[in-house]
Structure 1
Amino acid sequence: MTTTAGQMRPLAIAPATNGTSQSQDTAAPTPCMPYTCTTCARRKVKCDKQGPPCSTCQKGRLECHYEAPPPRKRKRKAADDLHEKLEHYEDVLKQHGLLQASNSSSPADDDTHREVVQTSLPRLPQSVPTGGKHLSRNGTFLSGKGKSRYIDSLIWNSLPEEDMNASDEEDAADGDVHPSLIYRNRLSLDPLSATVLGVGQPGQSLLELHPTYDQAMKMWRCYLTHVEPLIKIFHAPTALAVVQRAASNPSSASKAVECLLFAVYHFAVTAMSDEECEKWLEQSRQQLQARYYAAVTQALVNAAFLRTSDISVLQSYVLFLLSVRPRYDPQTFWVLTGVATRIAFRIGLHRDPETLGVGPFDVQMRRRLFWQILPLDGMSGQISGTGMSIGRDQWDTKQPININDEDIWPDMTEPPVPRKGATEMMFCLMRAEVGMTHQKAAPLVGAYAAMWDAGTSEANDAIDNLVNELEVTLEEKYLRYCDPFDSFHLLAMSMGRGGLSLMRLRLKLPRVKLHPNISDDERKEIWRLANRITDFVQSVLTNALLKKYSWHLQAMLQYDAMIWMLNEIRRGSFVVTDPQEVWLKLERIYECYPAFMGQRRAIHIAFSKLTLKAWEQQPAEWRRLFDKEPVFFEKLRLSIKNRRDKKAELKAQAPNANHPWEAQENPLPSPKPDDPATTTSNSSGFGIDLADDFNPDTIDWGFWDQLLRDTDSFPMPQ
């Protein structure tokens, strides 16, 4: 059989002929290419390496193109290994102080903007014990494509530079592909993400859960007014552009952006009142919360949040945690908060970004986020009874500076200049100032027993000096510049000045616990502080200007002062000069705080029982000051009875596993008899009945919640 010229497909230009024709009866064998064509390689089908085109592409009428694969990585020379081992051994010797560190450094730059950063943790003041010796460690910071990693591991740091990025290769297969492709037959590479949040099938499309553009903008504006001033983890102008672009075309949003959207939507409806949801979104608040809770958890799972190195995904997760903290039980919430802490360390937020070589804008944003995770970790550790998981010697990130969002932008090259006075950041910075001061005072509080037994007031005087210094700092930096007619400024003033009184009270209570027989003057001083704190609580809960912050105010309600006052009334103390006024204050607080009547959390139940006991056991002449018993007492009794009946009914039924979202609806577990936390039931004299369905781990004896809670939320860096 002969092959015509029209059937021949030359692989190369034919060589020149000398004018004579040559005929062939049979075709010469077609040479075989040394590698597969790009089309077959992409389609993962067999290629006969003929052509082009190969037989597979010819049958499918596809474009066929051969391209040589990239050369293999060259084998490392023995000299390279020797130099690397030498550098590694030198680093180990430097870490242990056996070799003097060199003053020169030459970080290597590559495609991912790799920077080798020598970091050492600042030491604690001498007054704060570290619990361990000071360590100086070397870390490697990797950043690129909107993600970052901080590697502080001898195993990873011993690898060569070209292999360092392998720690992120597991993310490559699950990158930011267009959502329409992700949601088709996609199986999650980390099924635990869905398990942690109790979400169903990984990779589900969320397009149907997106609101209209108008609704999205309404929720964004609500977030800006109700939530963002108290959190400040976003740069509002930049975030606005992202929200507008994604809300107008949800199908184009990346997984990280979709997390941000639904985290904002969920927090917005959580912060809204029932009336605001009906008015602005024309749906009930309960329906909207359920809708966007499901959406934000699914979005986090779609983004594989457990193994993310994207800071925007972590921002969304922190927003989610802040919005659901009253809904989860303390133990579950502590575990979920630990996830945020681990991701923060993975991204390198625990290292001050100025030492990592990032831009001035990113420096402030990374600091803002880390200083939001610190109190979150401290608060969750307090309410769960486990303590804070971030050690004082594990981070050196500085506080963000006192500026407004207009003072920074993504492309800036010079560090921003701090402002003097009231700014958008002052609420978060005041909280940080208080937390740091409390950490300085913590060892002094622990020295109370020995000092008071020795008859010295050194600790008390030192604590008073610390609080006085803090008061001067807050007044001179922030409070004197506040406008009481501005709702945000009014909240900062109330929390700042009320918080100072609470701090003084909280630092005095340990001595009272150790020495119940305090002097009359000191008992009067504690009563004065408790009475003043109760006035602040009542004023912020009843002020119409602060209504939009009620989600925060009701979450941070402090019980210390009110518990002290109830116990003083219960025992008929001489410091109670006007019991009728005290009961009227408590009645107004109960009216403004419906959770007491809901009886859904252990602290609410315990406080309600203490309130009833104080009313019934107070001196008879104090009760006769009222013509009739205040109405809220009957409501309290009915609420406690209904809950007890419901608990008995549920106990008789077979228990079913419930989602953490329903935790507050479920009966609270009774403490175990051998639980060490319950053995000190009434030894403190606070009068809380621990014998009946009350778990003391759920009491928040922390210092500030967001602003007024979290005793261990701001550990001093070593």
Structure 2
Amino acid sequence: MSSSAQGESEDSVSLTVADTRTGRKPTACVECYQRKTKCDRAYPCTACIRAKRSCISPGPRPPRKPRRRNHYEFHDRLARLETHLRVLNTVSERREDDKSRDGAKCLACLGDTAEFAESQLWLTAVKEFNTVKQQLYNEMNELGPWPELNMPFDADDLLVPTLSVNNGPLPHVPTSNELQILWKTFLERIQPVIPILHVPTFNTTVTYAFSDFIALPPTTKALLWSICCMALTSFSRDEYNNVSYHEKDEMIALYSRQCRLALLKANYLANFNLDTLRCLIFLTMSSQSLHNDSESWVTHGNLVRMAYKLGLHRDGTEFDLKPFEVEMRRRVWWQTLTLELSHALRCGLLKPELPSYWTTRIPHNVNDKDLHPDMIDPVTSIDGPADTTYCVMACEASKILLESDFSSLEEALMACPQSQGNTQAQSVPAAAYELLTLKINLRLGFLERCYCKASSGPIYDMALGLRPSIIRIFKNAMISQDSVTGMGEEFRRAHLEREEYFQDSLEKTHPWFRWTAWVGFRLRVIYHLIGQLEQCSDDRFVHRTWCLMERLYTNHEALWNFSDEAVMEVAYIILRAWEKRAMQLISNSIQATPDEPKFVKSLRLRLLGERITSTGPDDMLLH
């Protein structure tokens, strides 16, 4: 008996020790647990000894269940899955939209090539443009060719002398004086609008280039060539003639060619960095032509993919980069994004081709002197005007447009016939337009109050004009589908009012920043205006059109570049159109001797070499 009790005691002690080792509190014995009595959890326990019962210790406890995972991990995982789901839904919706569109209605012939577009507004404009152009060509063929007269290839008569004019050999490297002038012009006119360079840091490179331009690395050399191209683009022809004896267009072509050669030497498609992207941004903007928007859009696609490859679509804070590098990456990405949005809309595409997921934030409102490469503290925006104020507001405007549903906006702008009589269908586009206007007024208005002051300088005046300009453009584009007047007349009226507003804005802009309108001008604007002259019988409307064309020829020097065949062709058509206008005024007894616009006189002088003796020499030339 004593031996059995001794065995039970040893077992109890071993269990107690085991429970102590595991760090778990021992449980009550089996008898106490069944009788619901208090157990001192010592084996044998006191209650069992007093009741003379055998104290049976419980078996080993089952293993504890694993602790439940933190709910924050599940929330994070759920958020990632929802993000992926939204991306997939966006792709599927885009595919469904592409499938739902009628393929024949998405193609338009621009020249000899059929081009795809998503925007019905753009397709309508292209069809109108093709119709007008064909009518003008047919009329030109019926009237016969122009008489072959001697062209006045004289430097005093030609606005743009040909390359054969002996002005001295064209330089392959800008002189120190020319480089200083172009760099100063760049800082005054380009940097406030496109602040993708950090001027205090890049000044060292420019100073070195003054003395030894040839020794620079190919990428840096290409960047300097592109800076020279942008500076030249911002000059008017008269301004550039005051600082150089060469022709502006010749020098832009030369610097652009040198820039491309330097990029090829650097093998830029394989070896690219932020300087390469800066160079391509400047080169793309300075090389835009009057004709084809698709060329700029295709070229800019390479730039977008380079930016994607460098990771600019993700904010630099995600990569633990230095604050200075984070800020400069933001500036380059947002300028790339803004250009891509502009090129896509000009090509009739409602959605720019961008990475499906990007997180790069808008740059801060700061001065370049407050940034340096070794800074540790994060960059913070300052209140009041700064070097990047216009850039910040332009980026915010681009962000608002990217967040908008352009398909619904376009329905609101065109007032599609299929939505007439359907209140629900009309409410969606109208709500999209109202939401866009509200966002622009709230967000850009807030930035205006924080960063802009009316008398701070011309660039801040231009920044203050962003919000009313965007709202005015969309408001003007709200074309009502009138069953009486028809879509064509309403479209032409809206086009005329929009171009008049553009010219008003251009003439109010400081001369340093008028290049922002020059690089976006296209020749099809003139074709549309000439088409209005052919199709409209309202004398007041026709008079407004002629006044607008005179303003266009006054404000855009590219229309006087007769080395471009398309520009010369348009000038010939304008001269024919004025002959018809003069005959109409005489036949209607409105004017016995119609007053010929000054720009028409200048066109006749340059194209036909006709000397006009009825007016003085100052009245013949506009430039």
Contact 2:297 2:343 in 1 (8 A): yes
8 Å CA contact 1:403–1:425 kept in 2: the answer is: yes
- 1:127/1:361 Cα in 2 relative to 1: closer, same or farther (>3 Å)? same
Assess, with a 3 A threshold, how the Cα gap between structure 1 residues 557 and 503 changes in structure 2: closer, same or farther: farther
Query: Is 1:553 paired with 2:524?
Result: no
- Is 1:325–2:325 an aligned residue pair? no
Q: 2:199 aligns with which of 213, 236, 245?
A: 236
Task: Report the Cα offset of residue 454 of structure 1.
Answer: 1.0
- Shift of residue 474 of structure 1? 2.5
Q: Does 1:587 align with 2:557?
A: no
Residue 475 (structure 1) aligns with = 445
1:246 correspondence with 2:209: yes
Q: Which residue of 2 aligns with 1:314?
A: 277
Give the Cα–Cα distance (whole angstroms) in 1 for the partners of residues 256 and 401 of structure 2: 35
Other-structure match for 1:455: 423
Structure 1 residue 266 and structure 2 residue 234: aligned? Answer: no
Shifted more, 286-295 versus 630-639: the winner is 630-639
Determine if contact 2:331/2:363 at 8 Å carries over to the other structure: yes
Which residue identity does 1:245 align to in structure 2? Y
Q: Is 1:630 paired with 2:596?
A: yes
**Amino acid corresponding to residue 511 of structure 2 in structure 1:** K
* AA at the equivalent of 2:439: E
Query: Any gaps of 5 or more consecutive residues in structure 1?
Result: 1-98, 104-117, 134-207, 643-718
Secondary structure of residue in 2 paired with 1:131:
helix
Q: C-alpha displacement at 1:420, in angstroms?
A: 3.7
1:305: how far off? Answer: 0.6
1:288 aligns with 2:251: yes
Q: What pairs up with 1:247-646 in 2 under 5 angstroms?
A: 247-326=210-289, 329-383=292-346, 390-391=353-354, 393-439=356-402, 440-445=404-409, 449=416, 450-456=418-424, 457-458=426-427, 459-478=429-448, 481-483=452-454, 486-506=457-477, 508-509=478-479, 512=480, 515-517=481-483, 533-543=498-508, 546-557=510-521, 580=543, 583-598=546-561, 600=564, 628-631=594-597, 634=600
Tell me the amino acid that sits aligned with residue 305 of structure 1: Y
> In structure 2, what is the Cα distance between the partners aligned to 1:423 and 1:219?
23
Correspondence for 1:147: none
CA RMSD of aligned residues (A): 4.7
Report how many aligned residue pairs link the two structures. Answer: 447
In 2: Cα distance, 1:588 partner to 1:411 partner:
50
Please identify the structure whose Cα radius of gyration is greater. Answer: 2
1:306 match: secondary structure? coil
Greater percentage in helix: 2
Say if 1:563 and 1:287 are closer, same or farther in 2 by CA, change over 3 A.
closer
- TM-score norm. by structure 1 comes to 0.52
Supply the distance in 2 between the matched residues of 1:617 and 1:236 (Cα, whole angstroms). 53
| CA distance, structure 1, for counterparts of residue 502 and residue 319 of structure 2 | 42
Cα separation, partners in 2 of 1:298 and 1:564, compared to 1, 3 Å: closer
- Write the letter of the residue equivalent to 2:483: N
Q: Is the 8 A contact 1:569 1:614 kept in 2?
A: no
- Aligned in 2, Cα 1:337/1:470: closer, same or farther, shift over 3 Å? same
Superposition TM-score, scaled by structure 2 size: 0.59
CA 1:593/1:270 → structure 2, altered by over 3 Å: closer, same or farther? closer
Distance 2:549 2:207 in 1: 45
Q: Which runs of 5+ in 2 are unaligned?
A: 1-72, 97-170, 609-623
- Equivalent in the alignment of 2:66: none
- Percent of aligned positions that are identical: 18
Where do residues 73-112 of structure 1 align in structure 2 (5 Å cutoff)? Answer: none
Provide the residue aligned with 2:116 in structure 1: none
What is the rounded CA distance, in whole Å, between the counterparts of 1:328 and 1:498 in structure 2? Answer: 25
Over residues 420-474 of structure 1, what are the superposed CA-to-partner deviations in whole Å (9 max), with x where a residue is unaligned? 4443323333333333333414132355545434134412244134214313433
Alpha-carbon distance between aligned partners in 2 of 1:260 and 1:542, rounded to the nearest angstrom: 31
Deviations 1:644-697 (A, max 9, x none): xxxxxxxxxxxxxxxxxxxxxxxxxxxxxxxxxxxxxxxxxxxxxxxxxxxxxx
**Corresponding residue of 1:711:** none
Q: 1:298 to 1:532 in 2, by over 3 A?
A: same
